[in-house]
Amino acid sequence: MALASSVLIERAPAKVNLTLHVVGRKENGWHELESLVAFTAGGDVLSLTPGEMLGLTLEGPTASLAGDNDQNLVLKAARNLSSRVDGLRTGAFHLVKHLPVAAGVGGGSSDAAAALRLLARANEIAFDDPRLQEAARETGADVPVCLDRCARMMEGVGEKLGEPLRLPPLVGLIVNPGQALETKAVFATMNLAPGTKTHYGAHPALSAPQDMAGFLAALRKGRNDMEDAACVLAPVIGSILAVLSAARGCQLARMSGSGATCYALFTDCRAALKARQAILKAHPEWWVKACVFR
């Protein structure tokens, strides 16, 4: 089998939960979700120089916040795939970290998915090989949905993935205040007992392609059930949502994942860029990125 020997590169984009419904909590403690997930174009960049020794180096504006290298999900994903593929060739990973950490945009999960894609390319493993999905699921609940990097519904604890959706053009901003927020802490604040259902209301039916007006109308019927608990732990989230909602051209503002990152959808690129400029002028310490969701 011919193996790649040059440096391979994959992007690890931000994962944004356009909706996030908490359906309940299983007896084993895991929370069951329904979420419409979309991705941005920009994010982290992961490279792999194939070789015999597995390793990871980091750089970039948020690299210092990524924690211990040995516990990084990139290496965890590589080890999980190695346990399933005899003779898997790994190598030296290099991660350029741009996405905020513990921010509700799936940065670590997206990095892990990028690692699996790189290893698949380096070892000529088909992207639909079930061993990739198995390794993804073992690495983390959000890793499977990050493998394909396309908009779709995600249900259960991340193991149930709907068909890819072609979204209408969604121009927006993603904003993070620089405050890390652990998913575990947000769930603890929600305080759902194991074996209970929330009965908060059904997820809106979302089909694509559809016109922008119809899509936004359906999206507005959704929600992020973790938002209230996250605001208790990080009140700045309420400030971000207020600032985004007040921006001219904003059509919807909502928290992503377990926070503290929030997103907003705008009428067009000009409105989004003007809002970004105004927000950074008032809050230069915030991380604010214009994006197109896909």
Tell me the catalytic residues.
15, 142
| 26, 30, 41, 113, 236 from 20: Cα distances, Å | 17, 15, 21, 21, 20
Token pair for residue 120? 């698949």
Token pair for residue 217? 């109308």
Sequence-ordered alpha helix ranges (H) in 123-182 = 130-139, 143-148
Q: Could you tell me if 239 and 283 are in contact, meaning their C-beta atoms sit under 8 angstroms apart? A: no
Token pair for residue 273? 């860029």
Phi/psi of residue 159, each to 5°? -85, -15
Which residues, in sequence order, are bridge partners of residue 289? 174
Token pair for residue 210? 């559809």
Q: Could you tell me if 290 and 272 are in contact, meaning their C-beta atoms sit under 8 angstroms apart? A: yes
The number of angstroms, rounded, from the C-alpha of 280 to the middle of its chain's C-alpha atoms is 23
Dmax over Cα atoms in the chain, in whole Å?
57
Q: Could you tell me if 56 and 72 are in contact, meaning their C-beta atoms sit under 8 angstroms apart? A: yes
Angle at 79 between CA 78 and CA 85, to 5 degrees: 85
Q: What does the alpha-carbon distance between residue 100 and residue 112 come to, in Å, rounded to a whole number?
A: 15
Q: How far apart are the first and last CA of the chain?
A: 35
Q: What does the alpha-carbon distance between residue 263 and residue 256 come to, in Å, rounded to a whole number?
A: 7
Q: What does the alpha-carbon distance between residue 145 and residue 165 come to, in Å, rounded to a whole number?
A: 13
